[in-house]
C-alpha cells in the first residue's frame, strides 16, 4: 500500500520497526489478516519434484567442480610463497633460540652439579 502523504509514510516506517506489517487499519486483527494474506500470496511453493531437480543440479555442479583442476592465480601463489619463506625464516630463528637456551640450561645444570659437589 502506498502512502498518500509524507507524514503517513513516516508513520508506516515507524510502525515497521515494531511490527512486520504497516497496514493502516483501526482493527489490529484485520491488519494481521491482511499481512497473513500477503505472506501467503508471495510464499514460495515447493514440491518434492522441485527438490529433486535442485538436488540433481547441485550434485552435477559438485561433480563438475570436483573434476576440474584447481588453479591458483599467480599473485596468490606468489603471496603464499612469500608467506612460507617468511614463516620458514621465523621457524629457523626460533629453532636457533631454543638451541641456545638449551645450551645455556645445560651449562647452568653443569655449574649447579659442580657447586653441589663442592658444598657436600
Query: What pLDDT is stored for residue 115 in this prediction?
Result: 84
The ranges assigned to domains in the chain are 6-42, 48-119
Query: What pLDDT is stored for residue 42 in this prediction?
Result: 65
> What's the rounded Cα separation, in Å, for the pair 78 and 80?
5
CA 81 to chain centre: 25
Q: pLDDT tens-digit profile of 8-23?
A: 777 777 777 777 665 5
Query: What pLDDT is stored for residue 120 in this prediction?
Result: 63
Query: What pLDDT is stored for residue 92 in this prediction?
Result: 93
Query: What pLDDT is stored for residue 85 in this prediction?
Result: 93
Query: What pLDDT is stored for residue 93 in this prediction?
Result: 92
Query: With b meaning 16 or more CB within 10 Å and e meaning fewer, what string describes 28-47?
Result: eeebeeeeeeeeeeeeeeee
Query: What pLDDT is stored for residue 5 in this prediction?
Result: 78
Query: What pLDDT is stored for residue 66 in this prediction?
Result: 80
Segments of the chain scoring below 70 in pLDDT:
1-3, 20-29, 31, 38, 41-47, 120
Query: What pLDDT is stored for residue 117 in this prediction?
Result: 78
SS (H, E, C) the chain: CCCCCHHHHHHHHHHHHHCCCCCCCCCHHHHHHHHHHHHHHHCCCCCHHHHHHHHHHHHHHHHHHHHCCCCCCHHHHHHHHHHHHHHHHHHHHHHHHHHHHHHHHHHHHHHHHHHHHHHC
Amino acid at each position: 500500500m502506498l502512502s498518500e502523504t509524507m507524514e503517513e509514510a513516516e508513520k508506516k516506517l515507524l510502525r515497521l520497526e515494531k511490527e512486520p506489517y504497516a497496514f493502516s487499519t483501526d482493527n489490529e486483527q484485520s491488519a494481521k489478516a491482511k499481512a497473513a494474506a500477503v505472506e501467503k500470496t508471495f510464499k514460495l511453493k515447493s514440491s518434492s519434484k522441485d527438490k529433486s531437480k535442485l538436488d540433481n543440479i547441485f550434485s552435477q555442479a559438485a561433480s563438475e567442480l570436483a573434476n576440474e583442476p584447481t588453479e591458483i592465480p599467480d599473485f596468490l601463489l606468489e603471496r603464499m610463497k612469500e608467506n612460507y619463506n617468511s614463516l620458514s625464516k621465523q621457524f629457523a630463528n626460533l629453532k636457533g633460540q631454543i638451541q641456545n637456551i638449551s645450551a645455556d640450561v645445560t651449562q647452568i645444570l653443569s655449574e649447579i652439579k659442580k657447586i653441589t659437589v663442592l658444598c657436600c
